[in-house]
Amino acid sequence: DGDRLTLWGMGQGIYPVRSALASALGMDPAKIRFINKYNGSTFGAARLAAERFYPLIAHLAKLTGRPVKVMLPKDQELAQLLIKPETITKFKVGAKKDGRITAIDHEVYVSCGDLEGSGHASNPGSATNQMDLYTSTVPHWRSLWCAYRTNANRPGPSRSYYQQETKWSWEIMMDEMAETLGLDPIEFRRMHVTKLKPGDTRHPYETLPSVEILEEGAKAFGWDKRNAVPGGAPGRFKPGFGVGMSQHHGGLMGYHEGEEAFERLASARGAAVFGTELELTADGYVTLKVALPDSGSNHCTALAHLVAEMLGFTNRDRIRLMWGDTDIAPSSDEWFGGRTITLQGAATCSAADKLRRDLLERASNALKVDSAKLQIRDGTIFSTEDPKKATTFSVLAKANNGAIRQFGRGVAGGERGAANKGVGACFVEVEVDTWTGNWRFIRAVYPHDTGLVINPLVA
C-alpha cells in the first residue's frame, strides 16, 4: 500500500521477523506492519522455512499492485522444512554387581544434511543438559558427538532437536541395564538419578525433585502391582508397565524492570527484551497487548490470569486481549524454549504492578485515604477502615479524560537462567496380544515438577 507493507505471516514472534524482512527489502521497519495471531504450530522448523518466502511475497505484491498469498503443495512444503535428524546413540556401560554404574562411554552420531556443523542442540551446554540426569554419581564417563553429512533435509528445531532423541536413548539404556542386573527400573533410576547437594556447582538449580517425581509417580500409578517377570502374567493378553524420565529447563528465566540486573541486560547488544502494554478504559475493562502470536498454548490466557490477579479481579472477565500485530502491541522478542510466562510474563507483571500502583495513588488522592489502607477488588478500590469510601476503575479512567496506560518490560539472560530445572516422568500401562504382537494403550500417569500453575485448565 504505497510505501507501506502489510504482511500476514507465521512464526514465534512478530518484531524480530519484521526486522529481518525490512533488512531483506531495504525498508524502514516502521513501514512494515507484521501480523501473526494464530499458528497451527510452528515447532521452530516451519517458522524458519516460512521466513524465506516473505521477501518474495512482498516483491510480488509490489510488482502486481495486488495482495499476494503463497501456498505450497505438500511435497514442496516438506522440502522447505527443517527436520528432526536421524541420530544414532551407542553406550558401553560398566557396573558393579550391586547395580552401581562405574563407567559410561556414550557416543552420538547425528545426520546434519548438507551442513558443516550439527546444529544448535549439540553444543556443549545442550549436550550437558541431555546427560544431566544420570551421570552425577558415575566416576568415569565420556561423551563423544559426531556429525555426518547426508542428502537428507537440513536439521532444525522441530520441538527442538537432538535433545529428546538423545534423552530417550538414556532411558532405553537405563531400562536395559536394570533388566540385565535384575533390578526394578525405578530402583535402578533412584540409585543413579541426580540429587542436589550443597556446594555441588555442577547442578546450580533451586530445585530438582528427581526422587520425589519417581516416588510420587510410582505411588499414583500403582507400580507396586507390576509383574517383575517379563511375560509372566497368565493368559494370551499380558499387561506391561513402563517408566521414562526427563529433565529440562523449565522456561528461560530472566528479569523485569525494577530489578538490578534488568538495565544491564536490556542495554546489551542483541538483548532479548519483551514488552507489555496495559490499557484501562472508561468502561472498566483492562486491555492486555502483547506481540507474541499464539501457537496452541493459549499463553495469553495465562498472562490474563496474571493481570487479573495482580489487579484484584476474581476472574478474567474484565481483561481483554490484543496480540500479534506490530501496529497494536509493543515490541517483544520471540518465544521459544518456554519464554512466554517467564519473560513475556515478566513484562506483564511489571506493567500490572505499575498500573496497580498508579490506580492506588489516584484513588488515594480522590478519596483522601492513605494508599496503604486501600484495597482493590473486582474493579473497586475502597478503604479498609471505611468501605463506604470507594471509587472504581471506571471512575478513575473517566477522570483521566482518556485511557490509563502502563508499560512493562522483561529481559532474558543473567544468572537466574541457570537456576531453573524441571523434572518429569511418564508411567504407562499397555496390554500385549502375545499371539499377534498387537498392543493397546491402557493408561498413563505423568508426574511433573510444575512449580506454580498459572492456568489450571491447561496444566
| pLDDT at residue 122 tops 60 | no
- Confirm whether 5-80 and 254-417 share one CATH topology: yes
Give the per-residue pLDDT at 52: 86
Give the per-residue pLDDT at 452: 77
Q: Which of the listed CATH numbers 3.30.365.10, 3.40.50.300, 3.40.47.10, 3.40.50.970 matches domain 82-193?
A: 3.30.365.10
Give the per-residue pLDDT at 55: 94
Calculate mean pLDDT across residues 144-167: 80
Of the two residues 312 and 341, the one the predictor is more confident about is 312
Burial call 333-359: b when 16+ CB within 10 Å, e when fewer? bbbeebbbbbbbbbbbbbbbbbbbebb
3-state secondary structure of 389: coil
Give the per-residue pLDDT at 449: 87
Q: Which fold has domain 5-80?
A: Aldehyde Oxidoreductase; domain 4 (3.30.365)
Give the per-residue pLDDT at 380: 97
Q: What pairs with residue 8 in β-bridges?
A: 35
Of the two residues 442 and 44, the one the predictor is more confident about is 442
| pLDDT at residue 92 tops 70 | yes
| Top mean-pLDDT range of 39-43, 94-98, 133-137, 337-341 | 94-98
Per-residue pLDDT of 231-246, as tens digits, reads: 888 999 999 999 999 9
Per-residue pLDDT of 290-318, as tens digits, reads: 999 887 667 888 899 999 999 999 999 99
Give the per-residue pLDDT at 152: 84
Torsion sign over Cα 158, 162, 167, 169: positive
Percent pLDDT > 90 in the chain is 62
Per-residue pLDDT of 383-433, as tens digits, reads: 999 999 999 999 999 999 999 999 999 998 888 877 778 899 999 999 999
* CA gap 184, 447 in Å, rounded: 19
Give the per-residue pLDDT at 93: 97
| pLDDT at residue 140 tops 70 | yes
Give the per-residue pLDDT at 118: 59
| pLDDT at residue 17 tops 70 | yes
* CA gap 15, 332 in Å, rounded: 6
Per-residue pLDDT of 346-396, as tens digits, reads: 999 999 999 999 999 999 999 999 999 999 999 999 999 999 999 999 999
Calculate mean pLDDT across residues 147-156: 83
What band does 96 get if pLDDT is binned at 50, 70 and 90? very high
* CA gap 249, 419 in Å, rounded: 9
Domain boundaries, the chain: 5-80, 82-193, 254-417
Give the per-residue pLDDT at 183: 96
Calculate mean pLDDT across residues 42-48: 71
C-alpha angle 364-368-374 in degrees, rounded to nearest 5: 45
Percent pLDDT > 70 in the chain is 94
* CA gap 329, 289 in Å, rounded: 5
DSSP 342-372: IIIHHHHHHHHHHHHHHHHHHHHHHHT--GG
| Pure H helices in 281-344 | 299-310
| pLDDT at residue 181 tops 90 | yes
Q: Which fold has domain 254-417?
A: Aldehyde Oxidoreductase; domain 4 (3.30.365)
* CA gap 34, 23 in Å, rounded: 14
What band does 280 get if pLDDT is binned at 50, 70 and 90? very high
The overall average pLDDT reported for the chain is 89
| pLDDT at residue 339 tops 90 | no
Give the per-residue pLDDT at 205: 83
Q: Which three cell numbers stand for residue 177?
A: 541395564
| pLDDT at residue 149 tops 80 | yes
